[in-house]
Amino acid sequence: MMAVAVLTIDGPSGAGKGTVSRLAAKRLGWHYLDSGSIYRSLALAVSKQGIDLADEAAIVRAAEAMRLEFECGEELTVRLNGQDVTAEIPLESTGNRASTVAAIPEVRRVLLQKQRDFKQSPGLVADGRDMGTVVFPEAPFKVFLTASASERAMRRYKQLKEKGIDANLARITNEIEERDRRDRERATAPLAMASDALFLDSSDMTIDSVVEEILNLVRKG
């Protein structure tokens, strides 16, 4: 059986991983895994079910019971337990809660196989925090994509505004810094660069040049 190629793109929030990963997947004709949306969906399930963020056992049960469907059209449509939650996925409040539920080791264990199931022929572009280190350590192509904190906050701000979501730059900057700290400092699968990853700082790069660098990595084999 031919091995399925995997390209992992990890990095902090707002580094441009989503946009770049989608474009790279399109150019390569590969599948796309937005692993953050899985943790975001769990955060939504937890709040819809009125579960306390401190009740780890109940959060783990919600992760086990969660039914998720992704539909890749122009935009990614997400259905959670039969309900379309696409509009709630990008909210900052969802991202912040996601980083709290994502720090629970048992939650990560439960969600591991759901993520690995995305590895299908001819290939997969996987975007997240631990794609190259934990979920797909065997991936032949790994990228760690980052940008300065102020640039990341500005990008997230513009992204939310474009979606018509009310946003405040100072608050986003604080929230991004706080979320990054939680993601880097957690004990299980913290945000870290895989030793065999290509480091890219996109602060002064265009989206197209980031995508080209990444495609060059894949072309070189």
Smaller CB separation from ligand C5P, 95 or 123? 95
Binding-site ranges for ligand C5P (CB under 6 A): 13, 35-36, 39-40, 95, 98-99, 102, 128-131, 179, 183
Least distance to ligand C5P, CB of residue 138, Å: 16
Least distance to ligand C5P, CB of residue 219, Å: 26
Smaller CB separation from ligand C5P, 22 or 40? 40
CA 44, CA 58: separation in Å to the nearest integer?
A: 14
Least distance to ligand C5P, CB of residue 196, Å: 18
Total residue count of the chain as it appears in this document: 221
Smaller CB separation from ligand C5P, 13 or 146? 13
Least distance to ligand C5P, CB of residue 183, Å: 5
Please say whether the beta carbons of 16 and 202 come within 8 A. Answer: yes
CA 153, CA 174: separation in Å to the nearest integer?
A: 9
CA 146, CA 160: separation in Å to the nearest integer?
A: 19
Smaller CB separation from ligand C5P, 138 or 219? 138
String of DSSP letters for 179-221: HHHHHHH-SSS-S---TTPEEEE-TT--HHHHHHHHHHHHHH-
